[in-house]
């Protein structure tokens, strides 16, 4: 709901390619500190096998093709990238017309139309719209957010350097890298216009509407007020109220607050609360499923680790296209002798296919960190007679869960 920090996933990518480090762009990853056991890749159903036959070999993964890309394919890639950006950075654009403008590449028009609709809905008594609108206004009043918007003009030299790097890529990959950078440049022109477009909103009246809605038990309003306050105790009360009303984002935020508390209060006994709220949100949010899984890899709330369930939760989040979970699976799948030895390669291919379609937010990081070479190295580690099986298992995984992951990313 809140959009604070919405610029970072895309800016992090630019820095990563220029600086030559995967650690920057993978800022959402949580490093595994213990030995992790991966769950096996599920065997394909007959339907999945038929879908695999129609897909062809996994040569379409990012960075693997050297031919020219067709205009139609590049258009699909661009539209998918915009869908992904829309989901990550502009969830408040909800109107069908505004969303279609965004997907068509008319970002400024989309933002303006989205703002008008949000303001109109809030004026008509839509409490969800009012809460979202107040969140945007609060973001505009945040000095750190304003600093991010004002710094967008500083990215031109970074983009220029990246374009020089892209010259050495094969034609298809170069075209997609350029498309990503073009979209980032377009967004940089739009971001500074968001706050001025909200200046017509009566902030005092809006705050009163949201406070009244919160008093009436409106979960999104409670969560918005929680995000705005600097009073940690009041913030917890707002989040707890929203969480008790089954608001999954509030439950996840509350769990994170409880997880952090021991760092400032050694006597804190909130670890059990953190796990409880992660459990509540895990069924609705892939992020909560992933974080609960990471928690269960260790002692979480003082109880013994549960690596079996942990990996089930993480893999579930990965199947839904949640980037940190996919990244976890590419690093940890197949490490255990009892697991499917093809799992590591299957997840590397799964992520690469999403990236090739424009459905993975760290597309450029895969190019910079040599993802193709890493996948080839894993594949070549198999015996010659096993490589066909590895390709088949990778195709089966994508056939089973690729459509779900693409939809979650906002891709067609």
**Mean pLDDT, the chain cut into blocks of 10 residues (412 residues total):** 38 38 30 36 40 39 65 96 94 95 96 94 96 92 59 59 73 90 87 83 93 98 95 95 97 93 66 91 97 92 89 96 95 64 93 95 82 91 94 96 96 86
78 within some domain: yes
CA angle 220, 405, 387 (to 5 degrees): 155
Per the structure, the complete domain to which residue 78 belongs is given by 1-31+66-201
Neighbouring CB atoms inside 10 A of 157's CB total 9
Q: Cα dist. 122→128, 217, 266 in Å?
A: 8, 17, 43
CA angle 237, 239, 244 (to 5 degrees): 95
Total residues belonging to the chain: 412
CA angle 332, 40, 276 (to 5 degrees): 70
Task: Put residue 105 in one of left, alpha, beta given phi > 0 → left and psi -120 to 50 → alpha.
Answer: left
In whole angstroms, what separates CA 47 from the centre of its chain?
A: 29
Q: What is the rounded CA–CA span in Å between residue 335 and residue 37? A: 6
Q: Cα dist. 25→19, 123, 160 in Å?
A: 10, 39, 19
Who contacts 361 (Cβ-Cβ below 8 Å, separation ≥6)?
9, 10, 13, 84, 88, 323, 409
Largest Cα separation within the chain, whole Å, is 70
Write down the residue that tokens 């170069």 correspond to: 174
Q: What is the rounded CA–CA span in Å between residue 11 and residue 406? A: 22
Domain count, the chain: 1
Task: Put residue 56 in one of left, alpha, beta given phi > 0 → left and psi -120 to 50 → alpha.
Answer: left
What's the token pair of residue 95?
């109107």
105 within some domain: yes
The answer to whether 41 and 396 are in contact (CB under 8 A) is yes
Of 284, 290, 292, 317, give the one whose Cα is nearest residue 401: 317
Q: What is the rounded CA–CA span in Å between residue 41 and residue 71? A: 35
Could you give phi then psi for residue 383, rounded to 5 degrees?
-65, 150
157 within some domain: yes
Write down the residue that tokens 């654009």 correspond to: 93
Q: What is the rounded CA–CA span in Å between residue 285 and residue 249? A: 8
148 within some domain: yes
pTM of the model: 0.80
119 within some domain: yes
DSSP 47-111: HHHHHHHHH--GGGSTT---SPPPHHHHHHHHHHHHHHHHHHH-TT---HHHHHHHHTT-HHHHH
Write down the pLDDT at residue 30: 35
301 within some domain: no
14 within some domain: yes
The answer to whether 271 and 258 are in contact (CB under 8 A) is yes
325 within some domain: no
The answer to whether 293 and 314 are in contact (CB under 8 A) is yes
């Amino acid at each position: 709901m809140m959009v604070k920090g919405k610029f970072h996933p895309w800016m992090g990518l630019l820095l990563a390619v220029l600086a030559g480090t995967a650690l920057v762009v993978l800022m959402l990853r949580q490093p595994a500190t213990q030995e992790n056991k991966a769950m096996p890749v599920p065997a394909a159903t007959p339907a999945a096998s038929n879908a695999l036959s129609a897909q062809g070999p996994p040569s379409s993964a990012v960075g693997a093709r050297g031919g020219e890309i067709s205009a139609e394919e590049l258009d699909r890639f661009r539209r998918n990238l915009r869908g992904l950006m829309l989901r990550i950075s502009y969830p408040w654009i909800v109107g069908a017309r505004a969303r279609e403008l965004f997907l068509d590449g008319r970002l400024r028009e989309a933002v303006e139309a989205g703002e008008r609709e949000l303001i109109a809905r809030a004026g008509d008594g839509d409490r969800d719209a009012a809460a979202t609108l107040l969140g945007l206004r609060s973001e505009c009043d945040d000095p750190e957010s304003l600093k991010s918007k004002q710094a967008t003009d500083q990215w031109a030299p970074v983009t220029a350097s990246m374009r020089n790097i892209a010259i050495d890529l094969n034609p298809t990959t170069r075209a997609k890298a350029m498309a990503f950078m073009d979209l980032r440049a377009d967004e940089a022109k739009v971001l500074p216009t968001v706050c001025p477009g909200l200046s017509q909103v009566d902030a005092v009246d809006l705050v009163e509407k949201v406070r009244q809605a919160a008093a009436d038990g409106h979960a999104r309003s409670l969560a918005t007020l929680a995000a705005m306050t600097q009073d940690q105790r009041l913030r917890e009360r707002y989040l707890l109220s929203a969480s008790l009303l089954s608001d999954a984002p509030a439950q996840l935020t509350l769990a994170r607050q409880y997880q952090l508390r021991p760092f400032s209060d050694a006597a804190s006994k909130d670890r059990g609360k953190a796990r409880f709220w992660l459990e509540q949100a895990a069924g609705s949010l892939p992020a909560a499923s992933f974080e609960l899984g990471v928690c269960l890899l260790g002692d979480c709330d003082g109880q013994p680790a549960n690596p079996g369930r942990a990996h089930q939760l993480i893999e579930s989040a990965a199947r839904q296209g949640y980037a940190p979970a996919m990244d976890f699976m590419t690093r940890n799948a197949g490490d255990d002798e009892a697991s499917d030895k093809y799992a590591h390669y299957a997840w590397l291919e799964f992520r690469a296919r999403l990236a090739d379609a424009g459905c993975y937010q760290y597309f450029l990081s895969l190019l910079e960190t040599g993802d193709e070479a890493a996948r080839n190295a894993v594949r070549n580690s198999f015996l010659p007679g096993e490589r066909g099986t590895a390709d088949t298992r990778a195709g089966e995984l994508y056939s089973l869960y690729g459509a779900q992951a693409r939809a979650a990313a906002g891709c067609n």
